[in-house]
Structures are given as C-alpha cells and as structure tokens.
Amino acid sequence: MINNCRGPLLGISLAFAMAGAWLATGAWAADGAELRSPAPAVEIRAGQTGGQIVVALDKSQLVHFDRAFREISVGSKDVAEVLPLSRNLIYVLGKKYGTTNLTLRGQDGTGVTVVDVIVTYDIGGLKLRLHDLVPDENVKVEPAGDAISLSGQISSADHLRQILAIADHYAPGKIADMLTLGGSQQVLLEVKFAEVQRSAMKDLGVSTTLTNSGSGSMTSTIGTGTAGTAFGSITGVFTNGNYMLTARLDALQKKGLVRTLAEPNLVALSGDTASFLAGGEFPIPVAQTIANGIPTVTVDYKDFGVGLSFTPTIIGKELVNLVIKSEVSSLDSSLSVTANGIEIPALKVRRAKTTIELRDGESFAIAGLLQDDFASNTNQFPLLGDIPVLGALFRSVNYQHNQTDLVIIITAHLVQPSTAKSLSTPLDTLVVPTQLEHLSNGDVEKDDDEKALQTKENQGYVLP
C-alpha cells in the first residue's frame, strides 16, 4: 500500500525510464569528477531517524532503502512528489521550496524509518559552478531553511566577491554568508625616489675699451665679458700718447651635483586607502572678494615634502592590485613670484600616479626620467669676431650642460602584526652625551657599538 503516491501507470513508467537513464550515464568528468557525475542514490537504513533528503526545486533524487517497504507516506505532496520504482527504491521530485517528511512502513506494517525532505535551491549546480570558477577554494554549501549557507575560508577578497555574486544568481537575496578571509590582508608599500642632477657651465668673454684723451676725446667699447657673474678676471691697460686701451678677460666655470633620496613606507588594509606626508605647508595669499575697492585676502596652504597615497586590493594568492599616487616636492626660490610685495615660492615636484599588479615581495620601477639639456651661446662683434685667432678677442661664449636622472621603485609586502621587540626605531642607536662630553669634546651624540650590533640585522623601521 502506498499513500499519497498513487500516480497513473504512465507516471510510474516515466519514473522507471528516468531511473534507467540515470543508471546508464555512468561517465565521470576529468575535472571535478565528483561534482559532474550523476547524483548517486541516497542510502537510508532501517531505524534511521534525523536523516534528510535534499532535493533541488524542479529536480529529482533517487532514494534507496536497505529493506523492502510496503507503504510510503509523504507529509506534503505540494512540496515533494514521491514515486516508487521498486520495493526499496523511490523517486523524489522537488515541487516547491520548503520541508516535509517521508514515512516508510515495512512488510509487517511497523515503521521502518522517518526522514526529512528539504526542497531548496540548486545546491549541486552551485557547487559545480563554484568549482569551475575558483577550484582552489574550499566552499561548503548547505541548505539553511529557505536560504543557502556558505562557509569556509577564502584566500582573497576578490574570490569572495566572485563567490557571493555567483551564489546570488542561484538564490537571489537568500545567501547566508559565513565565509571568512584567510591569510594576510595588510599590505606594506615601500617607495624609493632616487634622483641625481648634474650641471656644468662655462663662460669666457673679452671686453676692450679704447679712449682718446686728447682734443675731441673718444671712447669705444667692444664686448661685455661673461653673461654671468665672473669668478675671475684679468685686466690689462696699454697707453700710447693720448690713447689708452683697456682689455679685460672674464672667466666663469660652475659644476653642480644634487642627490635626492626618499624612501617612504606605508601599511594599509586591503580595500582601504592610506596616505602619508613628511614635509610641511607653505602659505599662499588668495584674494577672495572686493569690498569698497579693497580686496579681502585670505591665506591658503599647500603641502610639500614626501607624500604617498595608495589603495591595495588583494585579488589572488599573494597577488596585489595597487592604485598609487606618490610625490616628492621642495620649495624652489629661483622660480618664486612677488605680488603686492609678497614673495610666493614655487615648487619643484616629482610625481607619479598609476595602477599596477604585483606579487608579495616583488618590485616595480613605475616611473623614470633621463633628461639631458645642452645650450651654447656666442656673442661677438660683427666681422671682427670671425677673424681666425684674433677673433677670440671680440666674442664671448657660454656653455651649459644639465643632466637629470630620476627613478621611482616600489615594493609590496603582505605583512602581519609583530611584537614591539622585533621592530627598531631611530632612537635605538642614539646615545645622548653627558654634559662633560658635550663641553669638553663638543659631542652632540655618540655611537653605541653594542646597540648598533644588536640592530645590525634589523635596519627597517616597519618591516621586522
């Protein structure tokens, strides 16, 4: 006797046909074989209580019993439909989201077992899709009432977003997210600005003055010397009667080297933005409004110094996406402007902004500059300056050569918090002298060889 399962003969025949098809398809896929294989029959043992049969909506599940049964009763045929295929094999079809139970009685009329039937979302299809998308992640998918529960530890925030997006397609708004992020989610960024500027300038000029002090005096000057301020000059005076010739040779040579090195370090949590500035602010007067013909001047401030801002995102195993904005600036009085008696300095800026991806411990040269400027000028008296050899007395020459070499290198590290003892500070090797040492030797500080030896293997102030 079978209660609530009396379908027409055609339905039972169809169920047998579907069971035969299930038995005939025994092939397993190469990748994710357990997920891609046909769902095996659920095994139910006599006397078992508290078991459950999970069926996806509009999908079926075969249930095998270890003993023959005579009667099957289903609590709600609106939730699940049950068809017997043999005396110990039944076919369960999910019809509506919800839960019900299944009661089986043996040949002697006594109860064999009672199991729960849960009709839920397509958990098997979701598992298969997640395996294809993130095969390295171990995600546990389970029914939770009228929702789907996701649990497990995920390696990156990017994988977590992908998993939740796929799960939402299978159960919109019905996802119980119990996933956790594993591994380090904090990124240390090291930035190195290295710049070298070389400059060379040479000036050589001649000026001559001829003076006639007799009747009808006359003065004639050729050349103006060097364009810049001469470092040295040689002057000669020659007289002959009323005539006096004055010749002056001016010479200037300049060489310069500027070295700039800045290495800011900054730590940020994946997905958040961190910023850092070591420098200062300088005031800029700004005219806001005009009242009675008199402008109202306010003061605005602009940052300068070594600045760093970045947003890291861990997108895979030890793979970090970085949005970086870095800058090194300094005041440049040579380009300052004066307005209403107020001198406003200019800024010399080296700035880089980019987005890159790199792995833990890898470095990237995100920007570089090689600039070579050359200028040569000649000032001469027409015609006389073109005379071989002697023409050098009637011309001045200027030579300038400037070179700039700049590179910006970044390095990313996935880091974990450390103990205070494993970190060092600039004060660890600083020893303040006594008053006697300061007065007698003029010492402002002295080295401690023992402390220096202790911190020799730990030179960084951020990395342990």
CA distances from 115 to 38, 45, 73, 157 (A): 22, 10, 11, 39
Q: Calculate mean pLDDT across residues 237-265.
A: 78
Q: How many beta carbons lie within 10 A of that of residue 112, not counting itself?
A: 23
DSSP 168-183: HHHSTT-EEEEEEE-S
Strands lying side by side in the sheet with 175-181: 140-144, 147-154, 175-181
pLDDT given at position 224: 55
Asked if the model's pLDDT at residue 91 lies above 50, the reply is yes
The two three-digit tokens of residue 251, written as one number: 């010479």
Residues 40-87: pLDDT tens digits? 666 776 556 657 788 888 888 888 887 787 888 888 888 888 888 888
pTM of the model: 0.57
Task: Take residue 404 and report the two structure tokens written for it.
Answer: 């700039």
Q: How far is CA 209 from CA 205, 247, 284, 293, 397, in A?
A: 14, 6, 49, 54, 19
Report the percentage of the chain scoring pLDDT > 70.
78
Q: What is the DSSP string of 304-362?
A: EEEEEEEEEEEEETTEEEEEEEEEEEEEEEEEEEEETTEEEEEEEEEEEEEEEEEETT-
For residues 247 and 442, what is the distance between their CA atoms, to the nearest angstrom?
Answer: 52
Q: Could you read off the pLDDT of 412-426 as tens digits, one per residue?
A: 998 888 887 777 777
Q: Is residue 24 over pLDDT 50? A: no
pLDDT(6) > 70: no
Q: What is the pLDDT of residues 346-372, one digit of tens each?
A: 888 888 899 999 998 899 888 888 888
Q: What is the pLDDT of residue 89?
A: 87
The size of the chain, in residues, is 464
Torsion of CA 274, 279, 280, 282, to 10 degrees: -120
Residue 187's beta-bridge partner residues? 268, 414
What pLDDT shows up at residue 323? 93
Nearest C-alpha neighbor of 99 from the set 69, 135, 74: 74
- Overall average pLDDT of the 202-213 stretch: 73
Average of pLDDT values for 287-311? 81
